[in-house]
Structure 1
Amino acid sequence: MYSRTLLCLLAASLCTPAFADTVWMKNGDKLSGKIKVFDGGKLLLETPYGGSIALDWKQVQTLESDQELLVKQDAYTGERAKSLQAAEPGKVTLANGEAPKTVELASIEQIMKPRPVVEDLVWKGNVDLAMDFKRAENDTDDYDVGFKTSARHGRWRHNAQGEYNRESKDDVTTTNNWSGEYALDRFITDKWFWQGRLEYKRDHIEDLARQRTVGTGPGYQFWDDELGAFSLGSLLNRTDYQYRDGGKDNFYSAAMKWDYTRYLIGKNVQLFTNGELGKPLGGVADYSLDAEVGLRYKVTEWASLNLKAEKEMIQGTSNSDLDKTRYTAGFGVAW
């Protein structure tokens, strides 16, 4: 009898979800699932019946959670709550042992799982890989590997990205280049930031062999949450060109950068585009464009299929213009 009771208790515990969070809406609906994050006015609730659901924070009446969560009432400082308890409409109680605190929902800026070292660290990124091998009258090999990542804590955001491309036809290499970029953003307000960045490109085939760019300037973050992000930035750049024949150019330029991502169809599909349009202040070139646009389809929580188009143009250089368009399809991982 005793063993049978233990077996029943074990079965009941296995059937109970690890976290049973509940959100009460102002229209009377009651939703259960697991709170993933609240940011940008949207509360992301992971449910077993509808996947990830983005709830309008203004329509939330109260909520509760058994998770330990970091609750931020401004953009830079937060309070670690061992759990959240439902309170009167428009409020929630942060449970911290003997000192619970009830706060207005309207005063909360973010809710997230606390990180081990930097509590408010938000780190996201992706790695994409595309390969194409053809064995026929002409043998071709095509590789494309790229990554992009962003880590934000408090007023600081670190951005890094890189890419490697290689193509060969009948053992003759026709494309062989790589690039890397690092940018550091310092947020002045919740939306406005100042960016400093360094970019380097190396091409072993084209006449324009090396490009190095150092720039700085202001930017504006329209939104950045679990459903996507959009930012615009303006930069004053110093660029150095080195050509295969030994020639060199250097100039200053004004540039506009954009970075847009948006999840669609319940976060199963991601639309993204980013790039930079620059205008030299001297007579070295007319303009430059480096941009990409594409789609990612999530196969699992971390794996995805991707389609991408890339465009790189430099018009009006003293040595040689550059105009390349590249289309790739492949797979990748995201976090």
Structure 2
Amino acid sequence: MFSRTLLCLALTLAATPALADTVWLKNGDRLTGKIKFYDGGKLLLVTDYGGAIALSWSKIATLESDQELLVKESAISGERAKALQAAEPGKVTLVNGEAPKTIELASIQQILKPKPLVEDLVWKGNIDAALDYKRAERDTDDYDVSLKTQARHGLWRHHAEAEYNREFQNDVVTTDDWSAEYALDRFLTEKWFWQGRMEYKRDRIEDVRRQRTLGTGPGYQFWDNELGAFSVGALLNRSDYEYENGEQDRFYAVSMKWDYNRYLIGKSVELFSDGEVGKPLANVADYTLDAAVGLRYKLTDWASLNMKAEKDLVSGSEGELDETRYSLGFGVGW
């Protein structure tokens, strides 16, 4: 009797459709899955039949969800809805107890899961580590650890980066450097922002031993959503260089920064690149370049393999710097 009851319960559960969000398109199609995020004109719907699907917001007629979601009609304010209900084409109903509210889809700027403290906080980042041991005629040990994270709420966005590199050849240190950077963006419009940033680099081997930079300037965000991001910025910097021989240079420079990443193949592969190319306004150096490009392959939702190439160049200065590093390692992301 007990076995029969369990069998009936299992059949009942199997016959009951799993709870899922639903999106109706203007062409009459209906898609089911789980709404993860809406930003930058794209709604990310995760399905069990096609993986992560990016839907153009302009093609959506209406949608529904049983999740609690933060729906923002401006960059600052938003409404926390316990659920979304389908409405007439071009609209959606926010369910909040006895006072549902129907709004235009065109008025929505962002949809995301609310966070405990700062509801509209979007925080993402990666920590990558690469270790290389080679035992041959020349023994080589190479360590490379890097952190990159970004948090956004309202009109503000924070960036933080740090990296450490150390290499031994036959127990002799041939590379020993680290760097840290913090930048703060204040969005002026949906795309334009103003950035202020601080950066410090320390190298115990190369001629350029210390680099300190303070900069500010405008930037433009082409897109930033669950499928990737691309932004550029033009900065006026004040830089201080200290060389191995004790000499120092202090000068102003202009630079162009970029930050790009794009998810491919259902978000299992990420292509990324970031860097800065600068031109001093004094006759200190011809130009500077600090750039990285790489691929990241996701093993799980949080673990990944990565390979990266980095270039650090100071050309035409009293102590020239020209470093190229290649790394293959393991990382975690959030």
TM-score by length of 2: 0.96
- State the match for 2:107 in structure 1: 107
- State the match for 2:210 in structure 1: 210
- Backbone CA RMSD of aligned residues: 1.7
2:308 is paired with a residue whose SS is strand
**Structure 1 range deviating more: 162-171 or 5-14:** 5-14
- State the match for 1:157 in structure 2: 157
2:114 is paired with a residue whose SS is coil
Quote the Cα distance in structure 1 between the aligned partners of 2:19 and 2:147.
33
- State the match for 2:296 in structure 1: 296
- State the match for 1:82 in structure 2: 82
Quote the Cα distance in structure 1 between the aligned partners of 2:12 and 2:300.
28
Is the alpha carbon distance of 1:328 and 1:97 closer, same or farther for their aligned partners in structure 2, counting shifts above 3 Å? same
Q: CA deviation at 1:192?
A: 1.0
- State the match for 1:278 in structure 2: 278
Deviations 1:259-282 (A, max 9, x none): 111111121111111110111011
Quote the Cα distance in structure 2 between the aligned partners of 1:19 and 1:35.
12
- State the match for 1:26 in structure 2: 26
Deviations 1:165-203 (A, max 9, x none): 011011001001000000011111111111111000000
Is the alpha carbon distance of 1:17 and 1:276 closer, same or farther for their aligned partners in structure 2, counting shifts above 3 Å? farther
1:61-80 equivalences in 2 (<5 Å): 61-80=61-80
- State the match for 2:234 in structure 1: 234
Quote the Cα distance in structure 1 between the aligned partners of 2:282 and 2:16.
67
Quote the Cα distance in structure 2 between the aligned partners of 1:159 and 1:17.
42
Deviations 1:188-235 (A, max 9, x none): 111111111100000011111111001111111111111111111111
Quote the Cα distance in structure 2 between the aligned partners of 1:259 and 1:316.
26
| Alpha carbons 1:181, 1:200 under 8 Å: kept | yes
1:66 is paired with a residue whose SS is coil
Is the alpha carbon distance of 1:15 and 1:309 closer, same or farther for their aligned partners in structure 2, counting shifts above 3 Å? farther
2:131 is paired with a residue whose SS is strand
Q: CA deviation at 1:137?
A: 2.2
Instruction: Determine if the alignment matches structure 1 residue 305 to structure 2 residue 305.
Output: yes
Quote the Cα distance in structure 2 between the aligned partners of 1:87 and 1:189.
30
Give the partner amino acid of 2:43.
L
- State the match for 1:116 in structure 2: 116
Q: CA deviation at 1:17?
A: 7.7
| Alpha carbons 1:19, 1:34 under 8 Å: kept | no
- State the match for 2:332 in structure 1: 333
Give the partner amino acid of 1:95.
V
| Alpha carbons 1:19, 1:67 under 8 Å: kept | no
Quote the Cα distance in structure 2 between the aligned partners of 1:153 and 1:296.
26
Give the partner amino acid of 2:187.
F
- State the match for 2:269 in structure 1: 269
Is the alpha carbon distance of 1:206 and 1:39 closer, same or farther for their aligned partners in structure 2, counting shifts above 3 Å? same
Q: CA deviation at 1:88?
A: 1.1
Is the alpha carbon distance of 1:121 and 1:7 closer, same or farther for their aligned partners in structure 2, counting shifts above 3 Å? farther
Instruction: Determine if the alignment matches structure 1 residue 194 to structure 2 residue 218.
Output: no
TM-score by length of 1: 0.95
Quote the Cα distance in structure 1 between the aligned partners of 2:250 and 2:15.
66
Q: CA deviation at 1:301?
A: 1.1
1:75 is paired with a residue whose SS is coil
**Structure 1 range deviating more: 35-44 or 24-33:** 24-33
Q: CA deviation at 1:3?
A: 8.7
Is the alpha carbon distance of 1:67 and 1:120 closer, same or farther for their aligned partners in structure 2, counting shifts above 3 Å? same
Quote the Cα distance in structure 2 between the aligned partners of 1:48 and 1:223.
26
Identity of aligned residues (%): 71
| Alpha carbons 1:259, 1:273 under 8 Å: kept | yes
1:220 is paired with a residue whose SS is strand
Q: CA deviation at 1:9?
A: 4.2
- State the match for 1:95 in structure 2: 95
1:107-146 equivalences in 2 (<5 Å): 107-146=107-146
Is the alpha carbon distance of 1:182 and 1:82 closer, same or farther for their aligned partners in structure 2, counting shifts above 3 Å? same
2:106 is paired with a residue whose SS is helix
Is the alpha carbon distance of 1:183 and 1:19 closer, same or farther for their aligned partners in structure 2, counting shifts above 3 Å? farther
Instruction: Determine if the alignment matches structure 1 residue 243 to structure 2 residue 243.
Output: yes
Quote the Cα distance in structure 1 between the aligned partners of 2:242 and 2:15.
64
Is the alpha carbon distance of 1:16 and 1:37 closer, same or farther for their aligned partners in structure 2, counting shifts above 3 Å? farther
Q: CA deviation at 1:25?
A: 1.2
Q: CA deviation at 1:75?
A: 1.7
1:106 is paired with a residue whose SS is helix
| Alpha carbons 1:241, 1:248 under 8 Å: kept | yes
Give the partner amino acid of 1:97.
G
Quote the Cα distance in structure 1 between the aligned partners of 2:253 and 2:325.
25
1:320 is paired with a residue whose SS is coil
1:58 is paired with a residue whose SS is helix
- State the match for 2:319 in structure 1: 320
5+ long unaligned stretches in structure 2 = none
- State the match for 1:254 in structure 2: 254
Q: CA deviation at 1:129?
A: 0.9
Q: CA deviation at 1:316?
A: 1.1
Figure out how many residues of one structure are paired with residues of the other and give that number. 334
